[in-house]
Amino acid sequence: MGEAGTKQAKRTEPSTWTGRGDGAHPRRHRIAVLALPGVPPFELGIPSRVFGSALDAEGRPLYEVVVCTADGAPVLSDAGFVVQPAAGSEALATADTVIVPPTHAMPELAEGGPLPAEVEAAIAGIRPGTRLVSICSGSYVLAAAGLLDGRPATTHWNLAPEFRRAYPAVKLDEEVLFVDDGDVLTSAGVAAGVDLCLHVIRRDHGAAVANRTARMCVVPPWRDGGQAQYIDRPVPEPTAASTTATRAWALEHLGEELPLTRLAEHARMSLRSFTRRFRDEAGMTPVQWLTAQRLELAKQLLETTDLSIDLVAHRAGFGSANSLRAHMRTAFGVSPAAYRRTFCPHEPAAAG
C-alpha cells in the first residue's frame, strides 16, 4: 500500500481508481469504512453521505460504500449507541478505497502504542494498491500501522503536538484541511472529512461531479485556506475590517489583473494590513489564494467547455497558455490538455 497554490492538498492528479466494469455497466468503486470502538457518529457517516450522493450523468451511483468492523461484530460509538456493521474485515480485502474515521476508545495510540491485534490483522489484509484515507484522528490508526512513515499527513490541529511525539516519522502539517499523497490521504478534524471526500470525488470524476455532489449535501465544493484559520488564537476586535467582500469581488474578476495594491484598495486597507488580515482569515497569502481560485476556474473551463487552452488561460487570469501549463504541472502534475483528456475524453483538446 503504499491542488497547487492551495493549502488544502499536497498533490492532486487524475485518478485511476474507479472500476471499469463491462463498459455498459461500469463497476462502482468500492469503499470500505472501518468503524472502530469509540467512533464518532458524525465522522463515521461522512463517507456514506458524501460518496453516496455522487452520481454519474445518468443518475447512477458512482460508489458503493459499506461500513465494516475489524471482526464483523458491533461496536459502541462515542455517542453511546451501537453501530451494527454490514461486514467484517473481508470488506477491507476487496475494497478499492479504505476509509478510517477516528476512534476515541484507543488512548494507547496517542502514546505511539500498538493497534489491537484484530485491528492490526484487518489492516494487514488490505490489498496492495488500495487507496487509504483517514478522517481526523483516524490518522493515528494509519500511523500506528506504519503506513504514514516518511509521508506527509495531517490530523486535527489540536492534536498536532501529541501526534508528533507519538509518530515522529510522519511529516505532519497541521495547517492544511487535508493532504493528498497519492494512495494515502489524510484529513483534518471533523468537517474536513467532507472536504477530503469531495476532493476524492473531484480527483476521480472531475469538478462537475464533485460540485453536484456538494450541492446535494448542501456544502461548499471547496473551502478557502486550511486549519490555520481555525486554530485557537486571539480574536480580532469586532470593529476590525474583513477581506470577505474583497475575496467575493475577486472571484468575479479572476480574468483581470489583480495585484495586491488593487485588492487592498478594494478592501480600503493599507497593503500591510490587508495582507495580514487576509492571511488570518483565509489561512494563506492573497497570491496563494488567487492562484488556487484561478486553477479551480481553469479546471472547470477545461471540463465544461471546448475553449482553447489559450482562452482558458486568459479567462482564468493566467495570461498565457504557458503560464497555465506551468501552474497546472506544479499543482497537479499534468498539462491542461492532459487534464481535459482525462475528464472529457470525448472532447478534442487543443495542444497543451
Per-residue pLDDT tens digits for 171-226:
999 888 899 999 999 999 989 999 999 999 999 998 889 989 999 998 887 775 55
Q: Are 209 and 201 in contact (CB under 8 A)?
A: yes
Instruction: Give the closest residue to 17 by CA, choosing from 209, 204, 205.
Output: 204
83 has which bridge partners? Answer: 75
Closest CA to 17 of 180, 182, 153: 182
* Cα 318 from Cα 334, distance rounded (Å): 16
For cell 477530503, what's the residue?
196
Given a cut of 60, is residue 13 above it in pLDDT?
Answer: no
Q: Return the pLDDT at 240.
A: 56
Helices (H) and strands (E) in the chain, counts: 14, 10
pLDDT range class, residue 18, cuts 50, 70, 90: very low
Per-residue confidence at 272, pLDDT binned at 50, 70, 90?
very high
pLDDT score for 145: 97
215: which 3 cell numbers?
450541492
Residue 319's Cβ-side half-sphere holds a number of Cα atoms within 13 Å equal to 7
% pLDDT > 90, the chain: 71
pTM above the 0.75 mark? no
Cβ within 8 Å of residue 178, ≥6 positions away:
8, 9, 154, 185, 186, 187, 188, 192, 195, 196, 199
Give residue 337's region: left, alpha or beta (phi > 0; psi -120 to 50). alpha
Question: Which letter does DSSP use for residue 139 in this model?
Answer: H
The pLDDT assigned to 225 comes to 54
Residue 182's nearest CA partner among 168, 197, 164, 203 is 203
* pLDDT score recorded for residue 351: 45
Helices within the chain (DSSP H only): 41-51, 90-93, 117-124, 138-144, 160-166, 192-205, 207-217, 244-251, 260-267, 271-282, 286-304, 309-315, 321-332, 336-343
Of the listed ranges 24-28, 45-49, 192-196, the one predicted with least confidence: 24-28
